[in-house]
Amino acid sequence: EVQLVESGGGLVQPGRSLKLSCAASGFTFSNYGMAWVRQAPTKGLEWVATISYDGSSTYYRDSVKGRFTISRDNAKSTLYLQMDSLRSEDTATYYCARGATGDYWGQGVMVTVSS
Amino acid sequence: DIQMTQSPSSLPASLGDRVTITCRASQDIGNYLRWFQQKPGKSPRLMIYGATNLANGVPSRFSGSRSGSDYSLTINSLESEDMAIYYCLQHNEYPYTFGAGTKLELK
User: Do the bridges between strand A68-73 and strand A78-83 make them parallel or antiparallel, or are there none, so unpaired?
Assistant: antiparallel
DSSP element (H, E) containing B103 = strand B102-106
Residue that wins the pLDDT comparison between B5 and A100: B5
DSSP, collapsed to helix, strand or coil, labels residue B21 as strand
Q: What is the pLDDT of residue A16?
A: 98
Chain B nearest CA to A114, separation (Å): 22
Q: Provide, rounded to the nearest whole percent, the portion of chain B with pLDDT above 70.
A: 100
Please judge whether B99 and A46 are an interchain contact, meaning their C-beta atoms are less than 8 angstroms apart.
no
pLDDT of amino acid A64? 98
Task: Please count the helices (runs of H) and the strands (runs of E) in chain B.
Answer: 0, 11
Of B85, B79, B87, B60, the closest CA to residue B4 belongs to B87
Q: Are A95 and A5 in contact (CB under 8 A)?
A: no
Mutate to test the interface with A, among B4, B53, B96 (most CBs of A within 10 A): B96
Give pLDDT tens digits for B48-70: 999 999 999 999 999 999 999 99
Looking at beta carbons, which residues of chain A come within 8 Å of B38? 45
Q: Using pLDDT thresholds of 50, 70 and 90, give the confidence band for residue A96.
A: very high
**Amino acid identity, residue A59?**
Y
A4-43 confidence digits (pLDDT tens): 999 999 999 999 999 999 999 999 999 999 999 999 999 9
Count of residues making up chain A? 115
SS3 A8: coil
CB B80 within 8 A of CB A89: no
Cross-chain CB nearest to B43 (options A61, A100, A107): A107
**A33-85: pLDDT as tens digits:** 999 999 999 999 999 999 999 999 999 999 999 999 999 999 999 999 999 99
